[in-house]
Amino acid sequence: MSTHVSTPPGVTGEPVELRDDTARNRFTVGRTAKYAAMILFVLIVLIPVYVLFVTSFKGAGDASPSRAWNLPTDWTLDNWRGAWNALSPAIWRTFQMVIPAAIISAMLGSMNGFVLSRWSFRGADVVFTLILFGMFIPYQAVMIPLLELMLGAGIPSGVPSLIILHVIYGIPITTLIFRNYYQTVPHELVEAGRVDGAGMLRTYWSIILPISVPSFVVVLIWQFTNAWNDFLFAVFFSSSQNGPVTLALNNLANGALLQDYGVSMAGALLASLPPLLVYILLGKYFVGGLMSGSVKG
Amino acid sequence: MRHRLRRLGAPLLLLAPSLILLGVFVYGLIAANFNTSITDNHTAAQATGQEPVTTVWFQNYIDLLGSDDFQHSLTNLVLFTVVFLVGTMVMGFGWAWMLDRPDRGEGFFRSIYLFPMAVSFVASGVVWRWLLNSNQGESASGLNRLFQMIGLDFLQNNWWNNITFGITAIALPAIWQLSGYVMALFLAGFRGIPEELREAARVDGASEWKVYRLVLFPQLSPIALSALIIIGHMSLKSFDLIMSISKPANYQTKVPAVDMYVFKSSFNYADAAAVGTILLVIVALVVVPYLVRTHQAEKR
């Protein structure tokens, strides 16, 4: 086995000087089995994607259940047109909601993360834990008074309400991500600032912020995806006239008495496109956000 | 003294906006919600303040927890969480285990397994509603049709329309969506274990199983705990997926989060608030010990 470990990448398939034939065969069989399993799982994971794509291009002629898994007989774009007409206003509203929400909560998270990790004070850990708890609460436990509070404050339902909610309830996770990141910043860097007599705000502004770009990317992506995919706040704080795309998609898919799967599946793909693009283009940062969800980072 | 105040003042200045917001919107509202939950605020007229509200203390909780209807929701929640947790942990660990050693195409597999995480529950609900269609035989579509095509007819079932176990069918898409996340957590764990540690064990003559049992599993157990807590609390809060696959009024698949929405929709604010508090208590029982533990571990 140690031979395998030290083999440079790219030549693992070659029969290197392995005298122990059984070991090599076992290794080869094991590797083949592993790949077979991994490919099988890829196919299983992609089943819903296949269904979405195929169904979204199907016309009325493919309605029979016996053709459920077949490719379309006549490829049509009607479903996509229908979905675009139904969802495009909501998609624009979602952008208007998600972008400011992501930016503001990233700023707040960065300030908190800095203070809690590198300009700490007694009791900072307790404060951090109290902030963190906000990430885990079921929002159902605040929803009724939240509705009354927002109504009482006269904040219009739809985009304005949702921006505020995503900012506030995004604070715990953004604080966590920034704190974990700043903890990897050497103490000396901050201390050097202190010795030079720089105050906290100057240290934050001129030392910490410039090196924060990677975690800003992680946090912005995380908040963007989270707010884009949110349905709970959307249901309680917006309507089909002013709500985001998840609400519009749900109405499209579950509204009519007879379901038009072609249109709703095209809609599901449309609604997923922005977060999927982010995942494909910036996957590394996306995973970075996921990891910090595990508290210890 | 002034110096100390200045040292404390500046950090608090930066933290203040967040602390005030969370103080009001998390802790303040939890208290306000509890306040509503101990009243008889069950009608639209009371919800809008046209009729008075009186305190009934824990009557709503007693009625809720005593009703078959809500007990069904709680049973569903337990069933869903068990299946969801076992499914994501097994799949996530299995995938991470297979991808542990960097090998050809590893990045490709990882990206595919993880991608469902980027999609909203509402969007995946659209396709899973189709996949989990309960029709069988001639009129079958979705997975039931697929089972027929590959000769596994006996696997056909009515999915989420089963009154007792229907909720577990909804755990399938949840597993599909979050196994990749658990995989990513475990992969980070595997990668964090120095190769020398495994090698040392092997040189000592430990079998491959023993290397896992004695070296890898102990190192991975904090990750497994994190994964359990994260998936567990997500599961307890599940709402989107159920709303988009079955409808909110569906008895088979209802859970407390859905009940809360239904109560709120009929302006039964007191019961909606009580369900919210019950959910909070359940989640807190899981999460608070974990947060305290992590907090203490960091101190050391």
d(CA A216, CA A209): 9
Cα distances from A30 to residues A24, A25, A49, B208, B211, in angstroms, run 10, 8, 29, 14, 18
State residue A146's pLDDT score. Answer: 97
More confident call, A216 vs B100: A216
d(CA A151, CA A140): 17
For testing contact with chain B, the best of A110, A130, A144, A261 (most B CBs within 10 A): A144
- Nearest beta carbon to residue A138 from set B138, B240, B276: B276
- Above 60 in pLDDT, residue A24? no
The first and second tokens of residue B17, run together, are 């906006």
Highest mean predicted confidence (pLDDT) among A184-188, A202-206, B233-237: B233-237
Split at pLDDT 50, 70, 90, the class of A15 is very low
* Contact (CB, 8 A) for A293 and B230: yes
State residue B299's pLDDT score. Answer: 67
The first and second tokens of residue A106, run together, are 């990233």
State residue B181's pLDDT score. Answer: 92
Q: Tell me how many residue pairs between chain A and chain B have CB atoms under 8 A apart.
A: 270
CB contact under 8 A, B287 and A290: no
CB contact under 8 A, A275 and B138: no
Set of chain B residues whose Cβ sits within 8 Å of the Cβ of A124: 11
Split at pLDDT 50, 70, 90, the class of A250 is very high
The first and second tokens of residue A267, run together, are 């809609």
Set of chain B residues whose Cβ sits within 8 Å of the Cβ of A137: 26, 30, 280, 283
Sorted by sequence, the CB contacts under 8 Å of residue A269 that are 6+ apart come out as A52, A53, A56, A83, B123
- Nearest beta carbon to residue A225 from set B118, B276, B280: B118
Encode pLDDT of A94-143 as tens digits: 999 999 999 999 999 999 999 998 877 788 888 999 999 999 999 999 99
Closest residue in A to B247 (Cα–Cα): A254
Closest residue in B to A39 (Cα–Cα): B109
* Contact (CB, 8 A) for B245 and B229: no
* Contact (CB, 8 A) for A112 and A179: yes
Cα distances from B28 to residues A50, A145, B135, in angstroms, run 46, 9, 48
Encode pLDDT of B6-48 as tens digits: 566 777 888 999 999 999 999 999 999 999 999 999 999 998 8
More confident call, B215 vs A210: A210
B166 vs A: CB within 8 A: no
- Above 70 in pLDDT, residue A10? no
Q: Which of residues 98-137 of B touch A (CB under 8 A)?
A: 98-99, 102-104, 109, 111-131, 135
Q: Pick from A151, A165, A49: which is nearest to A100 by CA?
A: A165
* Contact (CB, 8 A) for B123 and A249: yes
Sorted by sequence, the CB contacts under 8 Å of residue A69 that are 6+ apart come out as A51, A54, B145, B146, B149
Q: Pick from A280, A220, A216, A214: which is nearest to A98 by CA?
A: A220
Q: Over the range B92-116, which residues count as b (16 or more CB within 10 Å of their CB) and which as e?
A: bbbbbbbbbeeeeeeeebbebbbbb
Set of chain B residues whose Cβ sits within 8 Å of the Cβ of A279: 115, 117-118
- Nearest beta carbon to residue B122 from set A131, A231, A276: A231
State residue A259's pLDDT score. Answer: 67
- Nearest beta carbon to residue A141 from set B145, B279, B291: B279
Q: Pick from A241, A240, A245: which is nearest to A228 by CA?
A: A245
CB contact under 8 A, A111 and B95: no
Closest residue in A to B120 (Cα–Cα): A229
Split at pLDDT 50, 70, 90, the class of A7 is very low
- The mean of the pLDDT values for chain A is 84
State residue B100's pLDDT score. Answer: 83
* Contact (CB, 8 A) for A254 and B247: yes
CB contact under 8 A, A134 and B295: no
Split at pLDDT 50, 70, 90, the class of A12 is very low
- Count of other CB atoms within 10 angstroms of residue B68: 6
Q: Pick from B211, B159, B161: which is nearest to B190 by CA?
A: B211
Closest residue in A to B7 (Cα–Cα): A121
d(CA B53, CA B268): 12
Q: Which of residues 238-297 of B touch A (CB under 8 A)?
A: 239-240, 243-244, 247, 256-257, 260-261, 264, 269, 272-273, 275-277, 279-280, 283, 287-288, 290-292, 294-295
Q: Which of residues 203-222 of B touch A (CB under 8 A)?
A: 222
A160-164, A214-218, B99-103: range with lowest mean pLDDT: B99-103
Work out the burial of residue B292: count CB atoms within 10 Å of its CB; fewer than 13 is exposed, 13-18 middle, 19 or more buried: exposed
Closest residue in A to B132 (Cα–Cα): A48
Backbone angles phi, psi at B140, to 5 degrees: -70, 140
Q: What distance in Å separates residue B140's CA from the closest CA in chain A?
A: 6
CB contact under 8 A, B283 and A271: no
Does residue A197 come out as left (phi exceeding 0), alpha (psi in the -120 to 50 range) or beta?
A: left
Sorted by sequence, the CB contacts under 8 Å of residue B133 that are 6+ apart come out as B140, B141, B142, B143, B144, B159
d(CA B217, CA B190): 10
- Nearest beta carbon to residue B237 from set A65, A131, A138: A138
CB contact under 8 A, A200 and B223: no
Set of chain B residues whose Cβ sits within 8 Å of the Cβ of A286: 118
Q: What distance in Å separates residue B291's CA from the closest CA in chain A?
A: 7
State residue B103's pLDDT score. Answer: 76
Q: Along the 300 residues of chain B, how does pLDDT read in single tens digits?
A: 455 555 667 778 889 999 999 999 999 999 999 999 999 999 999 988 888 889 999 999 999 999 999 999 999 999 999 999 999 999 999 999 999 877 788 889 999 999 999 999 999 999 999 999 888 888 888 888 888 888 888 888 888 888 888 999 999 999 999 999 999 999 888 888 888 888 888 888 878 788 888 888 888 888 899 899 999 999 999 999 999 998 777 888 999 999 999 999 999 999 999 999 999 999 999 999 988 888 777 766
More confident call, A297 vs A189: A189
Q: Which residue's entry shows tokens 């994190």?
A: B226
The first and second tokens of residue B284, run together, are 């807190």
CB contact under 8 A, A279 and B115: yes
**What DSSP assignment string belongs to B168-200?**
HHHHHHHHHHHHHHHHHHHHHHHHTS-HHHHHH
State residue A13's pLDDT score. Answer: 36
d(CA A253, CA A260): 7
The first and second tokens of residue B78, run together, are 């337990």
Highest mean predicted confidence (pLDDT) among A20-34, A189-203, B262-276: B262-276
Q: What distance in Å separates residue A26's CA from the closest CA in chain B?
A: 13
The first and second tokens of residue A206, run together, are 């001129």
Encode pLDDT of B3-17 as tens digits: 555 566 777 888 999
- Above 50 in pLDDT, residue A205? yes
Could you report the predicted ipTM of this complex, rounded to two decimals? 0.91
For testing contact with chain A, the best of B99, B122, B229, B246 (most A CBs within 10 A): B122
Hey, which CATH number is domain B45-122+164-299, 1.10.3720.10, 1.20.5.510, 3.40.50.2020, 1.25.40.20? 1.10.3720.10
The first and second tokens of residue A120, run together, are 């700490």
The first and second tokens of residue B211, run together, are 């290397």
